[in-house]
Amino acid sequence: GAVVSQHPSWVICKSGTSVKIECRSLDFQATTMFWYRQFPKQSLMLMATSNEGSKATYEQGVEKDKFLINHASLTLSTLTVTSAHPEDSSFYICSARPGALNTEAFFGQGTRLTVV
């Protein structure tokens, strides 16, 4: 299957700082990537859809200014958590498809963010 790589796997940061998470499609191009958030013992919730060369589409209730998404190339999307607070601590996972709609989605390894 296709490979999606996410970096870093885990990060600890201080309150008030910003953290950038990278998501790369290693063996295919992705015009669209997706960012999810997962709290302990819960399911994955879609945060936003990242579109190459244009603005991301955010789900209802997700703060655009707090979770900055940039999709500057067909193989890289980044999620920046700005002015992080302890309540932002979570598991963040990205996803991409090696094709258009109705194709299989593949996920990165996830990033565990802890804000202290």
Partner 1 sequence: GIQVEQSPPDLILQEGANSTLRCNFSDSVNNLQWFHQNPWGQLINLFYIPSGTKQNGRLSATTVATERYSLLYISSSQTTDSGVYFCAVEYGNKLVFGAGTILRVKS
Q: What's the min distance (Å) between Cβ of 96 and partner 1?
A: 11
Interface residue with partner 1, options 23, 69, 81, 93 (CB under 8 A): 93
Is 38 a residue that touches partner 1 (CB under 8 A)? yes
Q: What's the min distance (Å) between Cβ of 90 and partner 1?
A: 11
Contact positions with partner 1 (CB under 8 A) in 44-83:
44-46, 49
Interface residue with partner 1, options 14, 43, 65, 116 (CB under 8 A): 43
Integer angstrom CA distances of residue 53 from 4, 43, 56, 69: 19, 29, 9, 11
Distance of CA 17 to the CA centre of its chain: 18
Residue type at 22 in one-letter notation: E
Q: Which residue number, 36 or 84, has a Cβ lying nearer to partner 1?
A: 36
Is 112 a residue that touches partner 1 (CB under 8 A)? yes
Cβ proximity of 69 and 79 under 8 Å: yes
10 Å CB burial of residue 72 (0-12, 13-18, 19+) is exposed
Counting DSSP H helices and E strands in the chain, the numbers are: 0, 11
By the criterion CB under 8 A, which residues form the site for partner 1? 1, 32, 34, 38, 42-46, 49, 91, 93, 95, 101-107, 109-110, 112
